[in-house]
Structure 1
Amino acid sequence: MKYFSFTLITIFIMLSCQFSDKKMAQNTVPAAQEFSKGKQVYDDFCIQCHLPNGEGVPNTFPPLAQSDYLKTKREASISALKYGLSGEIVVNGKTYNGNMTAQGLTDEEIANVMNYITNSWGNKNTRLITAEEVSKVER
């Protein structure tokens, strides 16, 4: 009986820890290989202007690599992907005044590519962007 009680308590503790770990993992940044869906979206829709290294084209397309805009303007960055962007923006101290058309991506695709670019090329985002968050961004 003592052994049975010990076994039940051990199982309960293990299950509790697993549930807690999964819940915590939902909002933390996964390992690099977890960003493969975002990289695929980037390669299909973004790479032409922002280039494979995320450095963009000087005076034409702003960099995503080590981008202060991505770090400080989370909602505006999501909005640019969702609805497009026109007018002046300042990225890393340089002014860009171009147009980016809406890419026609789903909220999940936007979340995936945002998580990829905000964790690539010197960027570090410790709080994942979710499709639910993207769905709440308005024009």
Structure 2
Amino acid sequence: MDFKSKDAIYLQIADYVNEHILLARWAINEKIPSVRELAAHLQVNPNTVMRTYEHLQQSGIIYNKRGIGFFVAEQARRHIKKQQRERFLERDLPEFFRNIYLLGINMDEITEKYQLYLNDNYADHENK
């Protein structure tokens, strides 16, 4: 995983977990990787993953079965979409609009590039 400097690492890991849930790689009520497994996979400190899991648990995205592990919550996708939509509309979209204005990019070009991106990256996944 390539970490960006814009957000804290635990939040970037939360985005990674959220993406896996939204793409149905991790199903509702399915056990997700343990703290140690995910830390080893992402090559980060287990304490960072634990902070991520605590954050996601407080957000209603995952839940803990004591002694067993963490699982995807029933309403996880709804919570993720709501949170990420708000963040995107408030933080990312204004920056995107500024850039397309400054660079003189028109909406037809954006639409074409967006369709190519979907075809290249999500052709086998139904947008949920």
Q: What's the TM-score, normalizing by structure 1?
A: 0.25
Higher helix share: 2
Larger RCO (alpha carbons 8 Å, 6+ apart)? 1
Q: Name which one, 1 or 2, has greater alpha-carbon Rg.
A: 1
